[in-house]
Structure 1
Amino acid sequence: MSRSGSLAKASLPYAEALFESSQFIQLIEKTNQDLLLISETLSKSDSLKLFLSNPLVASETKKKVLQKLFLDQVSSHVLNFLSILVDRRRISLLNSIIDCYLTLVYKLKLTTVANIYTAAVLTDLQQKSLEKKLQDMTNSKEIKLVIQVNPELIGGFVIKIGSKIIDMSIYGQLNQMTSYLNVASL
């Protein structure tokens, strides 16, 4: 099993528990926003990630730091969840738990996440058009585009939804032609 697969397997029960408790107290959207804020904070601070994942740092110290960082920014529900993760020595799984939680929320909302790799920045009109086409293709209520610019694609774009990939890039077409020509010359 891959490292990301085992992370997801260990993270899913925590994400499900948070999701169910948030749903019960009707705080799914607030929890969603709180987790996005925490994820953004962690992505900006490697030292915070190292601090939280360090087994030599006492649990109480980690909880105090998390309290100071997020006390006025996230709900007490999420702060309690972070404390539980620290107590159970699962705080290092936080990013994976957040990813699993967001997947559960997107399923509830019938939202499909589409990773878009494009050679150039898409305009708002292009994004809206792409969202509409993907909505029709996937029968989703909502499409969430995660766009990354990759100049190596030369032109066009690549869409990844789950395990499905639609490659409309010039780079991908050149690779297809190359492999076709290599097979044809045999």
Structure 2
Amino acid sequence: MAALQQSPIAFHQTKSPPSNSIFKKTPIRLTFSSSFPSIKLPGKSNRRGGGILGAKMVASAAGSYASAIAEIANSNGTLETTSADVEKIEKLFSEKETYDFFTNPTISLETKREIIDEINKSLNLQTHMANFLNMLVDSKRIELIKDIVKEFEVFYNKMTDTELAVVTSVVQLDSQHLAQIAKGVQRLTGSKNVRIKTVIDPSLVAGFTIRYGNSGSKLIDMSVKKQLEEIATQLDFSDISLAV
């Protein structure tokens, strides 16, 4: 039990969606998916391929931004609150239409700033995080936001000796089961803290999987899907001829 008490678990629970009345002054129609606004607009995102060199440059830039955020948050004692803000931003930009809107070069910076201001109010972001989003929009680097979120998570985990475990299941697991999983991951890794992220995947049929380690390199698969695949492999009927 002592191990559990020193292992904070971050549960991602859906909250009641905020009112979208604050967005009525803009000509853009917003709807809400999960607990964050998604933007319903036509238009293509500005996506450019850069090969291996381009990918390295993106990773380097995202890492620099993420490192700066983590250092600022750590220095002013808001690391945990900043981590919570980053999670909000991650959910927001996981919506394809939201991401496509902000990376669309045909939409003016002024319009994007207006929406960023409304989002900041809606999500109640800290001042330095609100300024950060505006900076990305102004410098036309908002397309890096997903990579920045990933890199920040790496810095946060290192700074707090936290092991991230992604638990994927068919339905949301209850707090008791997630606490048991956190305790098990802590025992396997020796980390001071364990942070749980949950993902819903109906294709697993039943059971769950746990990914942890660097970039989720380690997998514990306790899903029925895996068991069915193993049974299917063992039951090879290819050499059996059926009597007619």
TM range (shorter): 0.7 to 0.9
**1: CA distance, partners of 2:95 / 2:187:** 36
Deviation at 1:155, TM superposition (A): 3.5
Distance 1:78 1:155, change over 3 A: closer
1:148–1:34 Cα change, 3 Å: closer
Larger Rg: 2
The 5 Å alignment of 1:1-186 reads: 1=52, 8-43=59-94, 46=97, 48-71=98-121, 73-161=124-212, 162-179=216-233
Question: How far apart are the structure 1 equivalents of 2:85 and 2:133?
Answer: 11
**Contact conserved, 1:71 with 1:79, CA < 8 A, in 2?**
no
Structure (1/2) with the larger helix percentage: 1
Deviations 1:75-95 (A, max 9, x none): 221122122212321112212
Whole-angstrom CA distance in 1 between matches of 2:85 and 2:172: 28
Amino acid at match of 1:152: S
Is the contact made by 1:59 and 1:86 (CA closer than 8 Å) also made in structure 2? yes
Give the drift of 1:125: 2.1
Aligned equivalents of 1:4 and 1:174: distance in 2?
37
How far the C-alpha of 1:98 sits from its partner, in A, is 1.8
Identity rate, percent: 29
SS at match of 2:125: coil
RMSD: 3.0
Between the aligned partners of 1:16 and 1:142, the Cα distance in structure 2 is 21
Deviates more, 1:66-75 or 1:10-19: 66-75
Q: TM-score when scaled to structure 2?
A: 0.62
Q: CA offset at residue 9 of structure 1?
A: 4.4
Q: How many residues align?
A: 182
Change (3 A) 1:13 1:137: same
Is contact 1:118–1:150 with CA below 8 Å preserved after alignment?
yes
Instruction: Give the secondary structure class of the aligned counterpart of 1:38.
Output: helix
**What secondary structure is seen at the aligned counterpart in 2 of 1:145?**
strand
Q: Is the 8 A contact 1:114 1:144 kept in 2?
A: yes
TM-score, normalised via structure 1 length: 0.79
